[in-house]
Amino acid sequence: LKRVIQAAKRLLKRAIKTKVPLVTIPAQQHQLSKHAFQRRVLEIIQALKNAGYHAYIVGGGVRDPLCGLIAKDFDIATDAHPEQVRKIIRNSRIIGRRFRLIHVFFGKEVIEVATFRAQHDNQHRSEHGIVVRDNTYGTIEEDALRRDFTINALYYDPDKQIILDYVNGYYDLTNKIIRLIGNPQERYREDPVRILRAIRFLAKTGFKLAPETEAPIKKLAPLLSHISAARLYDEFSKLFLTGHAQATLIQLQAYDLLKWLFPATTALLSEEKNAVETLTLLQQTCFDTDARLQIGKRVTPAFFLAAFLWFPFQHLISHEGNNYPRQDQIYQYAKMILAAQHRHTTMPAYVSQFIQEIWFLQYRLARIRPSQAEYIVNLRTFRAGFDFLILRAKVATTLKQTNEAKTLNVLVDFWEKYQHADENERKILIKQFPKSNLIKRNKRKRKVNKSTS
């Protein structure tokens, strides 16, 4: 009997909790055109509907066009279960453990289809209260309530061209407010990454955080230390490599959150003698990253991270009192910095390898053997290393570090000309290369090496 009563109570609680008022926003009010959405997204929705299911566009795919922004990707929410979606849409795969989702593939492009989910009290949680698995399917109302922010919980129905809103998200969107759904403390505790997501949407939309959404951030930010470094890496790339890096940097600093992603860099920002130099490099990197994306150029996480970790790397080297490190030492120091960073944002191996190459090139581009210039300029990593040199020159110039700026600008000038020069011009350029930066052949050493070998 006790169990029956408990079950009835649970059901009642759920019924009360999920009885949320629905606001329907018609086309003439939201003014989104069905044609603003990718044809493929509409096709997937149509296929699910033809099979008798409900399906909507949700999340950034609705939020961004409503804000006048271009959506990065489109997410579809449906009452079909992953296995059912798999059967209807052939070019798809079930992914995820924490959340099971469907990825539909069109070449490189991926569209995510998620089944409506419910938030249950008995979810699998870690010792810190973080939800580690959540695959309980639910109704559209429940699905709306388990989403993070109200502006992310708008459901667009392409057939009827209406938006379904269970959480007053449309009101918040028109008033430019980012508001967590439900009890903010609880929602951050369930998933502390929502703190970083709040910052991301803040930077992206230029909206304001609702006071109750903003208030717990400071106190609960330490929960980010329980999030896997792999997930934080994903979040880092969404924060910084999607066109809003400058605004993101400002907001992360304003909320004292940068340290959860880049502790070594943040430590330098709090040291009086290093703060300005470090901040200038971070700002310039963010500026350049946003500018590249704006003109449709690619950005690489490795270049960005090489810049964000450059000063920790440089300080390690000078701390060791080794201003002219050998090749193996450069790699050794680089590995130490990257190993420490790995504990916060786990970088894929190719990224950390590339960062090391960029750093190593800074030494090779500064001091060359005449016979190697040709080889260096043909390296696969030359472009990134050269761009990094330009970045450093810009920072030194901004900071009016006269000597450093002069040295770097001479190098930039040399490599700029050298890469476009023909054979003869290259010989002349080498002759003009500042003598102090040339490494002469050490004949004696060579002889010794020869005899020993």
Which residues lie near ligand ATP (CB under 6 A)?
A: 59-60, 72-73, 75, 147-148, 152-153, 191, 193-194, 238
- With CB under 5 A as the contact rule, the residue among 44, 56, 60, 166 that binds Mg ion is 60
Encode 24-65 in three state secondary structure.
EECHHHHCCCHHHCCHHHHHHHHHHHHCCCCEEEECHHHHHH
Q: Which is nearer to ligand ATP, 66 or 412 (CB)?
A: 66
Q: Which residues of 167-198 are buried (b: 16+ CB within 10 A; e: fewer)?
A: bbbbebbeeebbbbbbebeebbbbbbbbbbbb
Q: Which is nearer to Mg ion, 37 or 433 (CB)?
A: 37
Catalytic residue among 64, 143, 148, 387: 148
Query: Which among ligand ATP, Mg ion, none contacts residue 238 (Cβ within 5 to 8 A by kind)?
Result: ligand ATP
Q: How far separated are the first and last CA of the chain, in Å rounded?
A: 89
Query: Least Å distance between CB 50 and Mg ion?
Result: 24
Which value, to the nearest 10 degrees, does the dihedral of the CA atoms of residues 101, 114, 227, 355 take? Answer: 70
Query: Which among ligand ATP, Mg ion, none contacts residue 82 (Cβ within 5 to 8 A by kind)?
Result: none
Crossing angle of helices 402-420 and 349-366, rounded to 10° = 100
Question: Is 75 a known active-site residue?
Answer: yes
Angstrom distance (rounded) from CA 108 to CA 153: 26
Which string of x and - marks every residue 65-104 that binds Mg ion (by CB under 5 A)? --------x-x-----------------------------
Q: Which residues of 61-93 are buried (b: 16+ CB within 10 A; e: fewer)?
A: bbbbbbbeeebeebbbbbbbbbebbbebbeebe
Q: Decide if residue 138 touches Mg ion (CB under 5 A).
A: no
Query: Least Å distance between CB 156 and ligand ATP?
Result: 12
Residue range at the interface with Mg ion (CB under 5 A); choices 45-53, 55-63, 287-295, 398-406? 55-63
Residue range at the interface with Mg ion (CB under 5 A); choices 58-66, 286-294, 371-379, 444-452? 58-66
Instruction: Please check whether residue 314 is in contact with residue 322, taking contact to mean a CB–CB distance below 8 angstroms.
Output: no
Which string of x and - marks every residue 380-409 that binds Mg ion (by CB under 5 A)? ------------------------------
Angstrom distance (rounded) from CA 429 to CA 370: 10
Query: Which among ligand ATP, Mg ion, none contacts residue 362 (Cβ within 5 to 8 A by kind)?
Result: none
Q: Which is nearer to ligand ATP, 61 or 385 (CB)?
A: 61
Residue range at the interface with Mg ion (CB under 5 A); choices 54-62, 282-290, 417-425, 440-448? 54-62
Q: Decide if residue 59 touches Mg ion (CB under 5 A).
A: yes
In this structure, are strands 109-115 and 154-157 parallel, antiparallel, or unpaired? Answer: unpaired
Angstrom distance (rounded) from CA 120 to CA 142: 10
Angstrom distance (rounded) from CA 82 to CA 70: 28
Angstrom distance (rounded) from CA 256 to CA 236: 15
Nearest to Mg ion by Cβ — which residue?
Answer: 60
Query: Which among ligand ATP, Mg ion, none contacts residue 194 (Cβ within 5 to 8 A by kind)?
Result: ligand ATP
Query: Which among ligand ATP, Mg ion, none contacts residue 193 (Cβ within 5 to 8 A by kind)?
Result: ligand ATP
Residue 277 vs residues 290, 380, 412: alpha-carbon distances, Å: 20, 29, 20
Query: Which among ligand ATP, Mg ion, none contacts residue 189 (Cβ within 5 to 8 A by kind)?
Result: none
Query: Which among ligand ATP, Mg ion, none contacts residue 191 (Cβ within 5 to 8 A by kind)?
Result: ligand ATP
Query: Which among ligand ATP, Mg ion, none contacts residue 148 (Cβ within 5 to 8 A by kind)?
Result: ligand ATP
Question: Is 148 a known active-site residue?
Answer: yes
Structure tokens at 284: 């310039």
Query: Least Å distance between CB 111 and Mg ion?
Result: 10
Query: Least Å distance between CB 130 and Mg ion?
Result: 21
Angstrom distance (rounded) from CA 115 to CA 139: 9
Strand partners, 82: none
Q: Which is nearer to Mg ion, 101 or 377 (CB)?
A: 101
Query: Least Å distance between CB 294 and ligand ATP?
Result: 17
Alpha-helix runs per DSSP H in 348-435: 349-366, 373-377, 382-398, 402-420, 423-432
Residue length of the chain? 453
Query: Least Å distance between CB 324 and ligand ATP?
Result: 44
Query: Least Å distance between CB 277 and ligand ATP?
Result: 32
Question: Is 73 a known active-site residue?
Answer: yes
Contacting residues toward Mg ion, per CB under 5 A: 59-60, 73, 75
Catalytic residues: 73, 75, 148
